A = this chain, B = another copy of it.
Amino acid sequence: MTTYKDAGVDVAAGDAAIDRIRATVQDTYTPGVLADIGAFGACFAPDLEGMEAPVLVSSIDGVGTKLKVAARMGRYDTVGRDLVNHCVNDIAVCGARPLFFLDYYGVGTLDPDTAEAVVQGFATACSANGCALVGGEMAEMPDVYGEDDFDLVGSIVGVVDKAALLQGEAVRPGDVLLGLPATGLHTNGYTLARTVLFEAYDVDDRPPALEGASVGEALLRVHRSYLPAIQALLHDDLAQGLAHITGGGLPGNLARILPAGCAAAVDYEAWTRPPLFSLIQEQGAVPEADMRRTFNLGVGLVAVVRPEAVEAATSCLAGAGVPDAVRIGRVVSDASSDASEAPD
């Protein structure tokens, strides 16, 4: 690995790009970053003050073919933010606060302007999430990637005291599912969405259904970070479980946090589905079941809340910048329903 603080990276073009964004990367440094040491690895001294049994929570992920939309738009400053926010959400729903992030950028032929925009995106989102961008690797592999093709991979590490690990085991029938709005597709379902939409539209087309946005703009909206909302809920002890809605949609991801004997009864009529999803569904004649399993449908995070805590949670979320959380269903006994059915 080459850490951004190093004098050089393996790839000369990457070198130039990194020189240009070095200051931005350094702006992400939190007090834990040991910036002067660790030539081969990135060194981070976590603040474990008050923790009895620190648990490291980690995740690795890519952006999928949202990259192809970015390339088609010639706009590279958002995909890095998508990836950071995706990773942040994945560990935040476990109760962890992010410590540091590392990125990998594999590309056919490295273009310094593109690289700068991409890494700038990583840095911007890392700063916003209080997460240090401690290292990265740029690999130029013309035999693996096409001329303009590239892939991005991000890896995150956070920490939580074991007693505060959120695993959903306290979830029980009767709990309420609060849905937090997504900005768009986030980072899932792009293969289907692109297939359907680019058959009918170019990125710059503005179908009336999208209310002024171009297809490209709507598809490229940045994956939202729910970190402030999650931290506010956890601080006030208001969430029994949290699900990040990614591939697999609501049914697939809610199932990951429900204890045995519980199922999610989602009322898919409870919120207004953003027009982008309806456009994809109509344009591609996509069956409703496929829509539910592929897309977040406008709900990017679900908080499982006790019925008596719904009001407090709603107001807590409003205070954390999410005034529009919606009650989208409830937890039921496993026998009475399954995750793909609406409640009575």
Measured CB to CB, the residues of A under 8 A from B are 1, 6, 8, 10, 34, 37-46, 48, 53-62, 64-65, 67-68, 87, 89-91, 93-94, 96, 99-100, 102-104, 106, 134-137, 139, 141, 143-146, 149-151, 153, 155, 157-158, 162, 165, 167-168, 191, 243-244, 247-248, 252, 256-257
Residues of B within 8 A of A87 (CB): 1
Query: CB distance A56 to B157 under 8 Å?
Result: yes
Q: A44-B56, A46-B54, A144-B68 are in contact. Are A39 and B155 (CB under 8 A)?
A: no
Residues of B within 8 A of A45 (CB): 53-56, 162
Query: CB distance A62 to B248 under 8 Å?
Result: no
Closest B residue by C-beta to A162: B45
Closest B residue by C-beta to A56: B44
CA distance A128 to B161 in the complex (A): 29
A168 in complex: contacting residue of B39, B247, B256, CB < 8 Å: B39
How many copies of the polypeptide does the oligomer hold? 2
Q: A145-B144, A151-B106, A247-B10 are in contact. Are A58 and B40 (CB under 8 A)?
A: no
Residues of B within 8 A of A149 (CB): 143-145
A167 in complex: contacting residue of B37, B155, B248, CB < 8 Å: B37
Residues of B within 8 A of A34 (CB): 55, 165
Q: A58-B102, A135-B58, A139-B64 are in contact. Are A94 and B43 (CB under 8 A)?
A: yes
CA distance A209 to B144 in the complex (A): 29
